[in-house]
Amino acid sequence: MGDTIERTLVLLKPDAVQRKICGEIISRFERKGLALTALKLLALPPETAAKHYEEHLGKSFYPALIEFITSGPIVAMVLSGPNAVKVVRAMMGTTNPVDAMPGTIRGDYATVMSSNIVHGSDSIASAQREIAIYFTEQELVQ
């Protein structure tokens, strides 16, 4: 397998914006070698949140998840680079910050699963689907 250049969708969730740590988190991704390809601050409409998290519809945590992700502004970005999907997931740490290793974003900045700072696409197919929710082709500038 070669080191394919990939694009992935990253969200800095409302807790990251509220805590004013977006710059720090973006810096981590840039230092790692990933390239900013698109970036915006937005208030996520509930319908868009539902589209993003449609795989979780019907699960016990779904209502709280939608409520949380729409509770304040988020930063949406597309990052590009070799193996970007897996690299971002590794940098994020596990879904539950209790288990996330120190040195990962969730390991360093979060304590509870309901408020875990960052989203990253979990596969290339998810990345393609999710990028199209937030950005037009024209907004992907590199």
Residue numbers at the binding site for ligand RTP (CB under 6 A):
56, 61, 65, 95, 113-114, 116, 119-120, 122
* 61 annotated among ligand-binding-site residues: yes
Q: What are phi and psi of 33, to 5 degrees?
A: 120, 5
Nearer to ligand RTP, 37 or 116 (CB): 116
Q: What does the angle CA 117 – CA 28 – CA 109 come to, to the nearest 5 degrees?
A: 30
Annotation-wise, does 68 bind a ligand? no
Residue 95 annotated as binding site: yes
> Are 11 and 105 within 8 A, CB to CB?
no
The encoded tokens of residue 92 equal: 């994020």
Residue 96, annotated ligand binder? no
Q: How many residues are there in the chain?
A: 142
Give the shortest CB-66-to-ligand RTP separation in angstroms: 10
Rounded to the nearest whole angstrom, what is the least distance from the CB of residue 139 to ligand RTP in the complex?
A: 21
If the CB atoms of residues 114 and 141 are measured against ligand RTP, the closer one turns out to be 114
**Residue placing its CB nearer to ligand RTP in the complex, 9 or 38:** 9
Catalytically active residues are 119
DSSP 1-52: ----EEEEEEEE-HHHHHTT-HHHHHHHHHHHT-EEEEEEEEPPPHHHHHHH
Binding residues for ATP: 13, 61, 89, 95, 106, 116
Please report, in range form, the residues annotated as the binding site: 13, 61, 89, 95, 106, 116
